[in-house]
Structure 1
């Protein structure tokens, strides 16, 4: 495999074993609770959930110095080709920040190639774009081929998810507060995904959480169709019901004919701020 450095932001939710196996550098997003700043990974999920309702909780972009440090660590180790992957540039300024820092470094190191990929996705939907790119390099594709693929084919990855309450998305300005309130009153659960432009949209609406869980699975099946794919089942929180659902759906997907790999994982803390506990989603990327 060609010698390439991989950098992601923590919102891509790539499983730890893959991060370790491929020496992926993860730049943490930030969470601000009542004015105090924390980097992703420095607080527990429980700590955050306990403060979601009675504290002022915000999210913030990564520290630019951390991006620069990650890139220069690869350069100093002799790696001159670097790929970065970020959550959707339409939903976060993280991609643009990575791009600006990368451009500055390329002016300083003229022999270094850095390609920044906007995954047009969130959470493991973004992580699957990065993972598929790494696998393509393993299969013998060149750095240039993989970079071009990443820029042109991010829409081959989708995540479909549902959350018990819309209050956190409304609080963070991701959806309107009036829409959220009406949805709560009518027990309407939107199945949410990312558009080809990398923006949240409602795929469909279902009344009741259990029906919504089934619909997420059906939307995943509809998306992958008869193609081969990599998949992931992700949750937030630690309720027995949501953990059982994750385990059951993982087993179900593993038994499907066109499944190549399936991951399970947890939503990163910065994304949990907007989704809240007991989020359930399935991500998939079509493999050509």
Structure 2
């Protein structure tokens, strides 16, 4: 254990084995199917979630951890480790999770050495940042060094995602600036992204999946050609498509770190089955 512990929430969709290897602490959000409540990734796996989603016939709801839950988590970590804590969370434009963590930070004051960061991202677009932060922590980097690197990654990380339908984003109120696309998706594949503030917006409308993939690859070429990359692809019941996209990325780019992961229950509630998200950040190793 280094001098810094990295905390995130379950919407980062980091594979459990990777989180364990890097000593990343994960605070779960909740998914509600009627009167049934589940902790994301704790007592409801991605596979179980999508099966329940098909059977339920209605879209579930989600809720963030309370400030008190974050406060207790931070106290426990500090008591166990005595380390500084950096806590990186789902975009504040999409959830109250960051706000809950921030309130906990304000309540704790100087009791726990803590930095809470709004990733302004979702799914493994948070994960690419969290993973590198945890790798730095494991090598003994200071809190200040890690925070500086996180701020760089917040500037340089890109994410694009493709959904089969906007129904889930619309019904859950997370559609943001993509609302103009509703009702116009016949044979159109929307490529969505997140603004600098972390709000969903339509990046491009193309006809068909192949053109969507090519458009995203072209954009990554413009942004990252020749740079060593960490590529994370998260998917909702679309593993073959995710693997194909990763193979295309490895053909065209210097992919030094790669992760394919499931979109978990909370993010899955908001984007629906068939979604693929591609997150890229350039790696700068000392």
Sort the TM-score into its range (normalised by shorter chain): 0.7 to 0.9
Deviation sequence 1:125-170 (CA, Å, 0-9, x none)? 0111111222333455321121233245413212111011111111
Q: How does 1:58-207 map to 2 (within 5 A)?
A: 58-107=61-110, 109=111, 112-138=112-138, 141-151=141-151, 153-175=153-175, 179-184=180-185, 186-207=186-207
**Whole-Å separation in 2 of the counterparts to 1:96 and 1:157:** 22
Contiguous gaps of at least 5 residues in structure 2? none
1:248 matched to 2:249: no
**Whole-Å separation in 1 of the counterparts to 2:90 and 2:260:** 19
Further displaced range: 133-142 or 277-286: 133-142
Q: Report the 3-state secondary structure (helix = DSSP H, G, I; strand = E; otherwise coil) of the residue aligned with 1:254.
A: helix
Q: Report the 3-state secondary structure (helix = DSSP H, G, I; strand = E; otherwise coil) of the residue aligned with 1:170.
A: helix
**Whole-Å separation in 2 of the counterparts to 1:181 and 1:116:** 35
Q: Report the 3-state secondary structure (helix = DSSP H, G, I; strand = E; otherwise coil) of the residue aligned with 2:183.
A: helix
Q: Report the 3-state secondary structure (helix = DSSP H, G, I; strand = E; otherwise coil) of the residue aligned with 1:89.
A: coil
**Whole-Å separation in 1 of the counterparts to 2:281 and 2:55:** 34
**Whole-Å separation in 2 of the counterparts to 1:48 and 1:210:** 30
**Whole-Å separation in 1 of the counterparts to 2:135 and 2:252:** 21
Q: Report the 3-state secondary structure (helix = DSSP H, G, I; strand = E; otherwise coil) of the residue aligned with 1:14.
A: coil
Counterpart residue number, 1:32: 32
Counterpart residue number, 1:209: 209
Further displaced range: 158-167 or 204-213: 204-213
Shift, 1:98, TM fit: 0.5
8 A contact 2:50–2:273 mirrored in 1: no
**Whole-Å separation in 1 of the counterparts to 2:179 and 2:140:** 51
2:50 to 36, 46, 49: 46
Shift, 1:214, TM fit: 3.2
**Whole-Å separation in 1 of the counterparts to 2:90 and 2:99:** 10
The verdict on how the C-alpha distance between 1:254 and 1:207 changes in structure 2, with shifts beyond 3 A counting, is: closer
Shift, 1:261, TM fit: 0.5
TM-score between both structures, scaled by the size of structure 2:
0.88
Contiguous gaps of at least 5 residues in structure 1? none
8 A contact 1:163–1:275 mirrored in 2: yes
**Whole-Å separation in 1 of the counterparts to 2:125 and 2:179:** 28
8 A contact 1:118–1:151 mirrored in 2: no
**Whole-Å separation in 2 of the counterparts to 1:199 and 1:225:** 26
1:285 matched to 2:286: no
Q: Report the 3-state secondary structure (helix = DSSP H, G, I; strand = E; otherwise coil) of the residue aligned with 1:164.
A: coil
**Whole-Å separation in 2 of the counterparts to 1:83 and 1:14:** 16
Counterpart residue number, 1:3: 3
Shift, 1:9, TM fit: 0.6
8 A contact 1:235–1:279 mirrored in 2: yes
**Whole-Å separation in 1 of the counterparts to 2:100 and 2:32:** 19
Q: Report the 3-state secondary structure (helix = DSSP H, G, I; strand = E; otherwise coil) of the residue aligned with 1:191.
A: strand
Give the alignment's Cα RMSD to 1 decimal. Answer: 2.3
Further displaced range: 126-135 or 1-10: 1-10
Q: Stretches of 4+ moved more than 6 A in 1?
A: none
